[in-house]
Structures are given as C-alpha cells and as structure tokens.
Structure 1
C-alpha cells in the first residue's frame, strides 16, 4: 500500500513541468486568491507548486509523512477552474484553491478512504462526503488526503498520536521528534509546512484543536450540526464534526464558509445555513466583551507565562477579564467514554455496511479480527483494547448508554461551559489549548498529562477555536476560545481580534529536536 501511495504521489508531482514558479510557503488563502485574480498565477501553477513542495519535504527532506496521497485528478480540477475564471465565472474565495482532506473523509477522487487502516486500503467509494461536495461547489481543488492517527485515535488508550499503518508517523515540523498530535495530525503538520494553505480535519475530542495548537495553527471545531458528517468514517454521532485548519483565523473562516450546509442524511444539520464567516471578522471585536478566564491545573511555568501574556493582549484589546473556576464535573470522563464506545460500534458498523465489496471488514468485529491477523503491520506499537471494549457494548437502546449520554451532555454543557459563562457574565471562555508537544513514543504512547481545553466543548457540541499564542520552549501553544452552542461567529470574531494584536505565530524550522526541554 505504501509503495502504491508513493507511486501515485511521484507520478502526480513529476508531470507536467511547472510552467510558472509560485512561492507557496506561508502564503494565505487570500493571497492565493489575489494571485489568481491578478493573473500572476493560475490554479494549475499553485497546485503544481504544492505538489513539488510535498514531494520535496513530505517524503524527502524532513520527511513529515503528513500526506497519505495526492489526488491524480487535482490538476484536471485546477485546469477546469482556471477555464471558468478565464470565462468570467468565479465561484467565490475558494475558487481554484487547493485544499487537503483528512483521510477519514470520502472524496469522489480515485483515492481510497482508509482512516489510516490497511483494513480500508480498498475503500474506493468514488463518492463525496456532502461537506466535500460543498467545497467543490465553492471552487476548491481537492489536492489530496492527509495522514492521521489510525481510526482517529480510538483504537487504544496507549496509542502514539499521528501513527497509522498506511501512512506511518506524522512528524511535527517544529521539532521532528515531537508529536503532531491527533487525530488530524497530517492536516496539522501539512498546513504548518505549507503543503496547502488550509486543510480539513475531524474532531471527536481534541482532534482538530490539539494538532492545530501543537503545529502553530488556527483550528476550529464548529458546533455540532453546522457541518455534515455523512460519508466520514465515524466514532460518535454525538461528538464527531469536521473542522477547518489553517494559519490564520481569516483562512479558517473562509474554509468554514465553504463547508457549512444542511444534509438530509445527517439530521442534526437541518438548520445549518451557508454564510460568509469571514465577513464578520473585526479587529475591535473584543472591545467591551466580557471574557471568562480559566486557569487549569497542571500548567507548566512557561505555559503560565505565555498565557498571562495572552491575557494581557486581550485586556489591551478592550476585553473585560473575569476569572472563573472550573466546576467539579465528577463522572464526565467515564460517561463520555461509554458514549464513545457504544456509538463507535453502532456508527462504524453502519458506515462499513456502505463500503464497496472490495472492503472485506464490514463490522467492527471483522476489523478487530483483521488487526489480529495482521498484527505485525497493524499493531506493532499498541493494541486495540478500546475496539474490544466497544465491540462488547449493547447498542444505542441500552439504558446505561442513554444515561451516560445525558450525564455527559449535562456536565459538559449546562453544568460546565454554560455555568461558567453565566457565573462570569461572559460571552466566551479562554484557556490554554494544550501545553507544548511531547516526544513521539512508540513504547509508552502519548504520555501527555498537562491541561487540555478540548473535552467540555467536544462533549457539549459547542464551538472551540484555538489561535497561536506563541512558543513555549521553542514549540507552539494555542489559546482556546470557547462559547455556547451555535455561538460560532462570536468565537471566530474574538479569536480574530486577539490574533490581529498578538501576531504570535512563528513559522516552523524543521529542527531535529529541541535541545532544552525544561
């Protein structure tokens, strides 16, 4: 499989010869659009430039292993969109922009959707997830698929984030021996390395905001119901959502605008309305806004210093900061885990039943058996105890499952985020997203024990934005903006206003390691 993917990659990037040199490193969506509008570059030029950069740096050079495969149809898509532009038809701000898609999201291109697993290496569905169809309609070029933590990091409690049997281990472009986090690790590393200006990830609990924070990106987990989940390899219908990842809030808002839309097959999106999320961004949005400040346990001294500096930026932007205490939410973790395991079995079985006949694993039980039969390639570092536990669950009608979902939703939402907002009289909450990236460890897996802002908004289904707030020990960290259900625009506006003052993002340097880790 890896030889096939490499062959596809090399074939796509070697021909035709690039006609015009286009610099794409650290270039925004808006700048790419300007280049095309001014005739300085075409979509084909830009697509070829990204192919060349991927070939030079993803398999060679720092060898980030962030892109599982590029799309053999991408140049044809770019040519067609260039022809539309030449004829005077521009679909919008994404017209001709190459976008990377996480490889648990189906596209109609001639690429399998593997979720990183060899069990799905033949999952060539030739259908677009509705979210991808919306992006195509908006004019995006599907550049390729990104690597990920296999099965979106739900297989084992001892997993090494960023590793999959199909794609290998994604490396963090700031320090190659550090984790890119997961499960949208490839999307995070690829955008940080300028293999695309933006990418789509997915999140169940932290899988957009963690790789965004640790790779120096802006990442947005929207409210559940804003973006369709149909034709995406699932974990949990209660918590799964795609989310945009880019190097600026503006670019994230532009990509989000192309992703949103109702999907009859995903009932929670019935009220989703397409809108321009970038249009409402303002550098003055924080003026007079009450902001609840969370100080989580377990922050390192360096992270605390960086966080205090970020809070000062919010103050200078006119925000009114109110310290809030995180309430005791005993039982949340256990309830969430039961929900995830129960829904994993039900939702994955439903998805696998729709895969082509070439896919032999039609149930979670069959995937478990496949992994055991192919343990040398599928389980060289960690096992599948979460899969085993999930396969023993009793279904969506189980009273214990229903009680767990009610408990987790109440604790995370009404008694968690909403209670803190109410106590502070605030519109948003802020806290560090995560501490800096830890070492990738195939023996012990993810050893991180620091703060995380991900769980409450993930479980509640509320919006969560992370924005770079600088470096800690040479590694990126992010500032989280969290609000109540459907307050997505509020979160984006607050994050943009902070970003414009802080200007805290630094480009990666592809260091082999960080010399001093205090």
Structure 2
C-alpha cells in the first residue's frame, strides 16, 4: 500500500505532537474487502455471483491478511464445512427457495458462541479445546435458518475478559494476540476483538460479538466499525459461554449501520429457552433467601429490608419482546427534530475523543437535532454502586459456567465447573498464565450461590443505578429520544506485560441496566478511529439505529484500515 509517512490529520494543530507513521505493511495484490450486505444481496439475486464465490472471496481475504501480511490474527478457526454449505445454499438460490434476505451472506462469530458442528467453542481457552458443543446455540440456529454461512470463529479476550484483572484485550491462550488493523501496535480492545478486526479489515460484511460491559462497543470504537449492543433479552443467549445472566447480550458488528441492522433482523428473535426473553428472573432455590415480589416493593435494597424485591430483566413499555424491521429504520433524515442529550459526565477521559465528540455535536445540530447539553444521569454522581458491579459478575459467572458446561459439553467432559478451569490453567501455566493471572476467576470461585442475599441486594443496587436513577432518569427528565457520549479514546498501545492501558469508556450504565447501545465512527485522530455512542432505554434499538444511520450518512468518515506497523513520536515530543 506504499508509504504512509504523512503526519497525523490532527498533528498540525497548535500544541499537538506530530506523529510520523512508519511504512505500511505491503499488501500487493490484496483481495478486495467484502462488499456490503446490500451489494452482496443484489449480486446474488441477479446471478452475478454465487454463494460459493462469495465465500471463496472471504476466505482469500482472510488468507491474505490474517496469518500473513499484517497477520491480524482475528480468526481463531475456519469452518471446514463452509464451502459445502455454500454449495447447498446455491442450489436453494437457483431453485428460488431462499431462506430470507441474508441468504448466502458469510458471517464470523465470536468463539464463545456454540456451534454443534466440526468447530470448537472455547472462549479462547485451551481448557475447552476438544470439548465440542453437541448442539447449536440459539444464535447459530438463527443464522443457519436465515441461510447465512458461518464462516468461522473469531479470537477474543480469553473468557470474554473475565479471567484476570490485568490482561491484554484480544489475547487468548488458544488464539494469541489479535492486532488493530489501523495500527498494528495498538490495542483492538475487547472482548470481541476478532469480530471487530474482521469487519474493519473487510473479511466479511458482518460479524457477531458479545457484550457484558463494553465488549462490543469498545472494540467497535477502537477498530472503527459499527457495533450494536442490544437490550438484554432481545437476542438469545442460550449456548453462549456466559459471564452474567443479567448483563450478557449478543449483537452485530459491521462496517456500516445498514449492515449491522440487517444482521440484527436475523438475531432479534425471542427465545423461550432464554430467561431474559421470557422475562422470568431465575429466582434462587433457597426458601431462606428467596425474595417475594410485591407491587409496592422498594426498587433498591436497603439495610432495613428483610425481604428483597426480585431483580428483573429489561421490560418493554408495552410488554414482551418487540418484533421490528430494523432495516426500515434506516432514514437519512432521522436526526431532524430528535432530542438528544449530551452526557457531559462521560467526557474528559481523552482530549482526542473529546475533540471528535465536539465535532459530532456540531454535525448533529446542523442535521436538525435538538441538543440538550449538558444532561446528567443522577447515578453518575453516586459512586457507591460501582463497588457492586464486579462482584455481581463473579457470582453469576460461577453459576453460569456450570450451567453451560452441563448443557453443551460432551457427557463426562473433564471440565464441569469454574474450579476445573482454574485447575487446568494451573496445570498448563506455561500456555495459559504466561502473561496474566486468573485473579477474577479465583474470586468468583470463592463466591456463594445465587441464593446469597448479598448477591441479590447488589443486583438490585446496580439495576437501580443503571435504570431508575440512571438512563431512564436522564431520558425522562429531559424528554429525550437518546443520549450520546464518546465511545472510548483512540486505541492505546498493546502491552502484554502490564495489560490494557484504559483511558475510559461509557458502556457501564447501559451494561448494568441491560439497555442498548449503538456505536459508530465519528472521526479519526493520529490515524486511529474514535467512536460516538447512542444510548437509549429498554428496547430502543429502532430509535438508536435511526439516529446512528442519519449521523453516519451525514459525516461520512469511514476509512479503510491502513495496516500501519505503528507511530513514532519524535524525541522532542
């Protein structure tokens, strides 16, 4: 791709350090990036190409970039059946028997989403290698029913970044370190690092990530792609290696809002086997600790309470899980008349992110949005609930892993509990613990069960902070359609010794509320993408997609990754 020895776009500003880029990684005769979903749909329907040809093109792009060239290391495993599946779909296409609009579109999925085929499902851990899931996850089933080709699995922060307090995003014992395609020495973020990198690098038009807190939107921000973190319960979590039943969700990552919306149409199908889809909170079995729900119950646990209200999954105002055509929300005039609140308390962690964010606010105003600035979620100024967030995940991790292992691993598998994983890691420390420990795992294994009253009280506190005293309060007090904040800062350098260097992010309130986020690129600094996040209440994806799409069409900032080895800061900086 030639030399990229130009200064960063923001380097000419007064007081800024000019960065000199090293020469880009040569990529001669590089297969082109994936066309968009709409372009693929048109080419397939017109007979201009076949599903096999589409899959072969994706495999060629992966071959050129993933283990050679810049060696992005985003794909942990390819589906050995991909071409035979493509041939079957071509027969259906020729017969006019397509399974839906996404028929024949390849997709990569994160390696914590079970597939009952020849591929592994390991969450990046060597402990699960060889223990193939015996059935599909709900998500994999939806993809197959829609006629999509599951091309392979993407690398991730091992165990979705819940193993260690200090780790490098995008590193796993099984998959190694995934690289940021914009600057190869920069962190791709995680935990859905491989899915973010794969879409940014054009392996596929769409990929799937999972999020507990930031794991879709953060890598989307660092890699310069669109990420949709759906409301908990909108997409089935059955068969996804869990962290938290109260926060886990699965969503699209793509190069455009339109492509992400098209994939969300496939994924957003209620699953009665998922407690979050049917709204039934898993009440603890112990009669001593089982709470009793009363209409007048206080929404937050207090020391005086002897009977706690039951926590809940997000609820749609009209009840149930909405069935929506998210592609129909793609309106280029969607910002006109929208009331959007600026969460000023979520800025300030990065001057570069702030600069891009201010430019985005100007663009939103010019597009006809009414900007309410500043807006505050009351819980932003209350730091006490923050101490509950990780313990809740630890309680739920221990229980959730045991349930997943029992339901999806082969009978008699040597891994049946979190304790088994911890023991495996200790026995294989040279491979699994060479960089990072398993401190969070150890804490989680020491936790009690979900019948622990302390667990339930902590869940109630963080749900109140995220919902009633958080996002809902900010939206309702100001009569807003959505909230906005920077997604995260430009990607920091990779560091396998000390782990991630975290500048800041804005995903936590939505995480503990179980509410949706949509992030997309808003600009670039030093050749690195910076994202903006649209945030809303429960099941507000349609509104957020409408706003994000209109913003995307307005600013038109997308850039192909340059695969630069890094940036050199002059000695006098």
TM bucket, shorter chain: over 0.9
1:313 matched residue in structure 2: 363
Please state if 1:258 is matched with 2:309.
Answer: no
Please state if 1:490 is matched with 2:540.
Answer: no
Match runs of 1:229-308 below 5 Å: 229-270=237-278, 271-295=320-344, 296-308=346-358
TM-score with structure 1 setting the length: 0.93
Distance 1:383 1:23 in 2: 39
Task: Pick 1 or 2: higher relative contact order, CA cutoff 8 A, min separation 6.
Answer: 2
The alpha carbon displacement at 1:429 in A equals 0.1
Please state if 1:439 is matched with 2:493.
Answer: yes
Please state if 1:115 is matched with 2:117.
Answer: no
Indicate the structure (1 or 2) with the bigger Cα radius of gyration. Answer: 2
What are the ranges of 5 or more consecutive residues in structure 2 without an aligned counterpart?
1-28, 279-319
Distance 2:117 2:42 in 1: 27
Superposed CA deviations along residues 267-296 of structure 1, whole A, max 9, x for unmatched, are: 221333543211122011111111001122
Distance 1:309 1:34 in 2: 35
Equivalent position to 1:454, from 495, 507, 531: 507
2:376 matched residue in structure 1: 325
Greater mean alpha carbon deviation, residues 234-243 or residues 318-327: 318-327
TM-score with structure 2 setting the length: 0.85
What are the ranges of 5 or more consecutive residues in structure 1 without an aligned counterpart?
1-20
1:199 matched residue in structure 2: 207
1:13 matched residue in structure 2: none
The alpha carbon displacement at 1:26 in A equals 5.0
Please state if 1:463 is matched with 2:471.
Answer: no
Q: SS at 1:202's partner residue?
A: strand
Equivalent position to 1:425, from 479, 487, 490: 479
Superposed CA deviations along residues 106-136 of structure 1, whole A, max 9, x for unmatched, are: 1122011010000000121241111211111
RMSD between aligned alpha carbons?
Answer: 1.6
1:9 matched residue in structure 2: none
Q: SS at 1:100's partner residue?
A: strand
1:352 matched residue in structure 2: 405
Q: How many matched pairs?
A: 497
1:388 matched residue in structure 2: 442
2:157 matched residue in structure 1: 149
Distance 2:330 2:371 in 1: 21
Q: SS at 2:468's partner residue?
A: helix
The alpha carbon displacement at 1:423 in A equals 3.0
CA contact (8 A) 1:224 1:461 kept: yes
1:46 matched residue in structure 2: 54
CA contact (8 A) 1:432 1:451 kept: no
Distance 1:145 1:514 in 2: 30
Please state if 1:365 is matched with 2:419.
Answer: yes
The alpha carbon displacement at 1:515 in A equals 2.9
Distance 1:456 1:62 in 2: 36
The alpha carbon displacement at 1:53 in A equals 1.3
Distance 1:504 1:497 in 2: 13
Superposed CA deviations along residues 42-96 of structure 1, whole A, max 9, x for unmatched, are: 1100101111111111011100110001101111111111111111122222100
Distance 2:363 2:99 in 1: 37
